[in-house]
Amino acid sequence: MNAEWNSMSQTAEYEVVVVGGGIAGSFAAATAAAEGAEVVQLERKPRERGGYIACGDAMKSPEDPKKYPGPIDMGEICADESVLVDGEIDQIEWWDHELDERTVLPYADHSNVIDRYEFGQHLLDQVADLGADQHFNTVVQGVIQNGQVSGVEASRDGDPVTYEAEVVVDGAGAQSILQDMISFEELSAVEEVSFEQPHYTHFGSAYREVVETEEPVEFSNAIVGKPLEQLGYVWYFPRTPTRINVGLGFQMSQQPVPLADRLGRDMNAEPALPDAQVAERFGSPNKLGSSIALRRPLDSMVAPGYLAAGGAAATTHPISGKGIRGAAISGYSAGVHAARAVHAGDTSEASLWGHNHYQFVQHGEAGKLASRDAYNIAASSQSIDVLRAVAALLPQEEIKSIVGTKSKIDGLGDLASVVIGAAKNFLGHYREGSFEHLGVSNRNLYEVFEGVWTARSYSNKYETHYEAYPETRGGFSLWRDDRDQLDEAYYDSLELDTADRKY
Ligand SMILES: Cc1cc2nc3c(=O)[nH]c(=O)nc-3n(C[C@H](O)[C@H](O)[C@H](O)COP(=O)(O)OP(=O)(O)OC[C@H]3O[C@@H](n4cnc5c(N)ncnc54)[C@H](O)[C@@H]3O)c2cc1C
């Protein structure tokens, strides 16, 4: 144990307290410990259930150190066959049975559908090996603050424990309870506390089951998406040819969908998934649900004595399979900057600012996610039937760029091919009258194409703006005001009503 423990008052003192035993919490705890800080990681689940988390489990390039930075040895994790890093996934498929559409896109560098539980167990082992204490069965129920966030109150194996800390890292996932408990406006900071508290409509709800089939499925090398009546999709992600992660998610700003029922109806009607039965884990059906962040990364992820990472900081983009990676990068950053601030003896907002700057500029992943959010906003302004029609119309190159299998298509040649490709597809569908029963008019389609052009242009503007994210706290308010103006100009160009303006 590397902290001071007072058994009379049930109080433990650490330099860094990390809440959460998921991806962000594990990368943060491992990194801060490797940087020489006294760290404890708190997780509400028991040790043997660590890593048992609702996820589609799609994970690209797990051994790329840019996507998984820091002291966690991803090579060691990927070498264990039970984690299922095999690179077998080499295409993305979009099935819209009603429109008789099956779009197939090659996945250039191959991908994986991992066993998230096995992966999480390895992560927790490495956190311990790197020198952090770990307290499982420990539910954080309160926050201590006195100008700074200075610890948490928890129930450990049912007994109350106070954890005092110089820095608290929030890796408690999307809709973190810590953010409800902290009074950010009462923390002391020059100007105001910069931390951005997200709105509930910025989250989605997602649910998944792991099912088994008797015969191998014919899409075992593909991750498959299918339309949902609300903005969102149903997925079939095969871990192995007979073990499939199936799930669905929707945005909380839309009408709620009864997730388990809707998934059951989908699977019962799906000929490519015959006789699927839910697998068991821990003696129960392997079914899990959770919330997901469906917004750009928080404008600022720091407050005095406090850093947020992963789902808690919205640095994750689950829709395009960047949820695990985004949590790892921001967890690493939180660990580095928490340890540095502790060593400097200054855990003010200004001292922790490097956590924001690293992600938006030095690493840059958070800036890219923020700029791509322009596409989510454009899509949210359209009805789902119009989007289905567009998915059928868009040429594959354009879809590839939107879903991120290809980092960029920008040149004039590419743009011309998009227009020509869409026009060709449009003619085909027009002759067949494919979209009439969806109630989608040519005018609707034209508006979406216009929206995609606008989104592309604003996505570039956002990217430039996030590349100029301020290096110090001082420049933040001005930067945010300019970004807010960019938001307004974008909403105006999409002719969004006030109620539909996301931020
Ligand atoms: C259904 C679903 C499908 C997804 N599919 C994909 C996908 O295919 N690919 C992808 O890359 N991403 C996907 N994501 C997103 C991805 O799972 C998340 O981005 C990622 O798990 C975020 O990691 P995290 O560490 O921030 O949070 P989490 O993984 O949620 O971990 C948070 C941890 O904190 C613990 N905790 C919470 N509150 C407390 C408390 N009060 N006290 C103590 N401990 C607490 C929790 O028990 C948990 O272990 C999906 C998400 C969902 C919900």
- Tell me if 25 CB under 6 Å of ligand 1: yes
Per the DSSP assignment, residues forming a β-bridge with 103 are 94
- Tell me if 323 CB under 6 Å of ligand 1: yes
**Pocket perturbation via mutation, ligand 1, pick of 155, 324, 330 by most ligand atoms within 8 A of CB:** 324
The rounded Å distance from CA 24 to ligand 1 centre is 8
Residue nearest to atom 47 of ligand 1 (CA): 44
Q: Is 269 helix (H, G, I), strand (E, B) or coil?
A: coil
Listed residue (295, 452, 440, 438) closest to 381, CA to CA? 452
- Tell me if 44 CB under 6 Å of ligand 1: yes
What is the DSSP code (8-state) at residue 241? T
pLDDT value for 130: 98
Closest atom of ligand 1 to 322 CA is 11
Tokens of 9: 């008052």
Q: Which CB contacts under 8 angstroms, 24+ apart, belong to 311-314?
A: 311/22, 311/24, 311/173, 311/174, 311/175, 311/176, 312/20, 312/24, 312/170, 312/171, 312/172, 312/173, 312/174, 312/176, 312/178, 312/179, 313/24, 313/170, 314/174, 314/198, 314/202
pLDDT value for 456: 85
- Tell me if 321 CB under 6 Å of ligand 1: yes
Residue nearest to atom 15 of ligand 1 (CA): 323
How many CA atoms are closer than 13 Å to the CA of 256, on its beta-carbon side? Answer: 7
Tokens 């090996």, located at residue: 129
- Tell me if 57 CB under 6 Å of ligand 1: yes
Tokens 């109630």, located at residue: 439
Could you write out the DSSP letters of every residue in 286-304? -EEEEEEE-SPPPS--EET
Closest atom of ligand 1 to 293 CA is 19
- Would 4-75+117-199+295-366 and 86-111+202-293 be classified into the same CATH topology? no
- CA separation (Å) from 480 to 158, 183, 222? 43, 22, 40
The rounded Å distance from CA 31 to ligand 1 centre is 19
Closest atom of ligand 1 to 325 CA is 11
Strands 11-19 and 39-42: parallel
pLDDT value for 37: 98
Tokens of 405: 């299998």
Tokens 């939180």, located at residue: 334
What is the DSSP code (8-state) at residue 467? H
Residue nearest to atom 17 of ligand 1 (CA): 55
Closest atom of ligand 1 to 57 CA is 8
What number of other Cβ atoms are within 10 A of residue 106's Cβ?
Answer: 12
- Tell me if 335 CB under 6 Å of ligand 1: no
Per the DSSP assignment, residues forming a β-bridge with 235 are 225, 247
Listed residue (174, 119, 103, 133) closest to 42, CA to CA? 133
Tokens of 222: 């593909």
- CA separation (Å) from 345 to 30, 193, 214, 338? 21, 20, 59, 11
Closest atom of ligand 1 to 245 CA is 8
Q: At a CB cut-off of 8 Å and minimum separation 6, what does 73 contact?
A: 126
- Tell me if 225 CB under 6 Å of ligand 1: no
Angle subtended at Cα 317 by Cα 61 and Cα 97, rounded to the nearest 5 degrees: 90
- CATH code that applies to domain 4-75+117-199+295-366: 3.50.50.60
Listed residue (64, 173, 58) closest to 115, CA to CA? 58
The rounded Å distance from CA 22 to ligand 1 centre is 6
The rounded Å distance from CA 96 to ligand 1 centre is 29
pLDDT value for 126: 98
Main-chain dihedrals φ then ψ at residue 69, nearest 5 degrees: -80, 160
Strands 159-170 and 11-19: parallel
> Is 3.40.50.720 the CATH classification of the domain at 86-111+202-293?
no
Main-chain dihedrals φ then ψ at residue 476, nearest 5 degrees: -70, -45
Q: pLDDT 10s digit of each residue in the chain, 503 long?
A: 557 777 777 999 999 999 999 999 999 999 999 999 999 999 999 999 999 999 999 998 999 999 999 999 999 999 999 999 999 999 988 898 987 878 887 877 789 999 999 999 999 999 999 999 999 999 999 999 999 999 999 999 999 999 999 999 999 999 999 999 999 999 998 889 999 999 988 888 899 999 999 999 999 999 998 888 776 789 999 999 999 999 998 776 666 678 899 999 999 999 999 889 999 999 999 999 999 898 999 999 999 999 999 999 999 987 667 899 999 999 999 999 999 999 999 999 999 999 999 999 999 999 999 998 888 888 777 766 766 766 665 555 555 554 444 433 333 344 444 444 555 555 555 555 555 666 666 666 667 767 777 888 999 999 999 999 999 999 999 999 999 999 999 999 988 999 889 89
Closest atom of ligand 1 to 288 CA is 1
Residues of 65-99 as b/e, b for ≥16 C-beta within 10 angstroms?
Answer: eebbbbbbbbeebbeeeebbbeebbebbbbbbeeb
Taking the C-alpha atoms of residue 102 and residue 294, their distance in angstroms, rounded to an integer, is 26
Domain ranges of the chain: 4-75+117-199+295-366, 86-111+202-293, 371-500
Closest atom of ligand 1 to 290 CA is 53
- Tell me if 23 CB under 6 Å of ligand 1: yes
Written in H, E and C, the secondary structure of 384-413 is: HHHHHHHHHHCCHHHHHHHHCCCCCCCCHH
Taking the C-alpha atoms of residue 296 and residue 337, their distance in angstroms, rounded to an integer, is 21
